[in-house]
Chains A and B, each alone.
Chain A
């Protein structure tokens, strides 16, 4: 049985990192989170421009993204920093959601309540320092691979993505599912034209219906803003690059989800209620930051990011392992891209073997190996999906 070394949390989930999270509730708390993360060891900050003057559905979305990010098993303790109160998405609301879901230590700081920026800095630092000492006593323990929830994503795709790095990522997802684990495939704009390949594998008719509805819903939302995302697919660039039909383009993307049964449908940033092994599909846009943040919020401990052109994307909480099938991109971007599977295209190794290489990198990362982006803390990819307008 394959195992990895993880931190067992109070809710029995297993983290592969042991972060103290400085979680900003709003724009005006971002700097405090960033400053303290630069001082106290083993702390990371998650910041964003939202949480104020949002319509209710957006406030609920912001609260879900923030609370579920704090609930990610890679987070050992959380300090939520906020400014004033926005009914429906206060620091206390977010802290409550995290505590209720996970039982992990959470503190809150309110900038106004503390008497201004300087005092709030001091209070945030006290909490962060206390938590940093507490969680430094936590130790990794061997656990079965079935505890892993893997996210898969692709970005800056090219010809090599559909042929090499996406199938290799899919083979890795399959191996994790076969070991009793779970994987999440999001970006439902990319299911368009190959919905049938997912619905055929859906465990229930409800899941199949949700898959079809998800694509239609995102398409409708885009159409309402004047963008026809189906009629223009594949794009002129895609055609020039050799892609003939929308299904060819989408299959290349969906390949990264592997080939196992689709056992659950998730709303964006929703934590799966079931631990049934298999592939879970999640509603969400192709926007890389929102997409990977929704998977981190769902509880993915690690993400495989397949890229053709190379990428620097990395989530603060969820180590992001980048894989390319393009040797030139690897040579250009190897400071942030972990794996080169271009050997598949030269016949040096099979997709199956490439999948084993991806899995080996995932396991090493789970056991504590830093991703390249973690080594320089370029953890740039936190973004919250938006539903409506600012008010």
Chain B
């Protein structure tokens, strides 16, 4: 079974670290969350992310135990996680005030 790597316990995404995972394939987690089996809903290329827990719209997407952005739609376990369903919380002129608050 192909593996997806989970950096920290609280992460809700894992990263494909081997050959392309094909839609419908069952993969197992490795790293800080081990042995959790997930059915991929889409092709997941090497280095790309798949949800290992449900993430509601507006919730934080967690990798490294830290937020890497917000879900822009409900994400189910096994969904491909990338630009189409995540947006950055940082480095955004349109949210400059909020960012300033975070930094202080």
Contacts and interface: CB of A to CB of B under 8 A. Distances in A.
B37 interface: no
B30 A346 contact: yes
Contact of B69 (A208, A247, A345): A247
Given A199-B103, A244-B69, A239 B83 contact: yes
B68 interface: yes
A346 B15 contact: no
Contacts of A129: none
A299 B56 CA distance: 48
Given A167-B7, A197-B66, A247-B67, A208 B104 contact: yes
A248 B63 contact: yes
B98 to A, nearest CB: 11
Interface in B66-92: 66-69, 81-83, 86-91
Interface in A75-93: none
B103 A196 contact: yes
Contacts of A346: 3, 30
Dominant SS at the A interface?
helix
B91 to A, nearest CB: 5
B32 to A, nearest CB: 8
Given A163-B5, A196-B102, A239-B83, A247 B15 contact: no
B5 A230 contact: no
A243 B86 CA distance: 11
Scoring B34, B88, B90 by chain A CB atoms within 10 A of each residue's CB, the highest score goes to B90
A252 B64 contact: yes
B31 interface: yes
A183 B81 CA distance: 34
Contacts of B69: 244-245, 247-248
Given A230-B91, A345-B17, A346-B3, A242 B82 contact: yes
Given A192-B91, A346-B30, A251 B66 contact: yes
Given A159-B17, A163-B5, A347-B30, A245 B64 contact: no
B7 A245 contact: no
Nearest to A192: B91
Contacts of A230: 91
Contacts of A195: 90, 103
Contact of A246 (B17, B34, B48, B91): B91
Contacts of A350: 32
Nearest to A255: B64
Q: How many residues of A sit at the interface, in one of the four size bands? A: 35 or more
B91 A242 contact: no
Contacts of B47: 158-159, 241-243
A244 B87 CA distance: 8
Nearest to A198: B103
A157 to B, nearest CB: 11
Given A159-B46, A244-B81, A245-B86, A347 B66 contact: no
A192 B92 CA distance: 11
A120 B26 CA distance: 71
B68 A344 contact: no
Interface string B12-29: 000111000000000000
Contacts of B16: 242
Contacts of B45: 242
A199 to B, nearest CB: 6
Interface in A366-385: none
Contacts of A239: 82-83
A162 interface: yes
A247 B68 contact: yes
A251 to B, nearest CB: 5
Given A242-B47, A245-B69, A251-B68, A345 B86 contact: no
Contact of B89 (A212, A247, A351): A247
Interface string B31-53: 11010000000000111110000
Interface of A: 158-160, 162-163, 167, 192-197, 199, 208-209, 212, 230, 233, 239, 241-248, 251-252, 255, 344-347, 350-351
22 contacts: A163-B17, A193-B91, A194-B90, A195-B103, A230-B91, A233-B91, A242-B16, A242-B45, A242-B46, A244-B69, A245-B68, A245-B69, A245-B86, A245-B90, A247-B88, A248-B63, A248-B68, A251-B63, A251-B68, A346-B3, A347-B3, A350-B32
List 5 A-B pairs, minimum CB-CB distance, nearest first: A242-B47, A159-B47, A248-B68, A242-B48, A245-B88
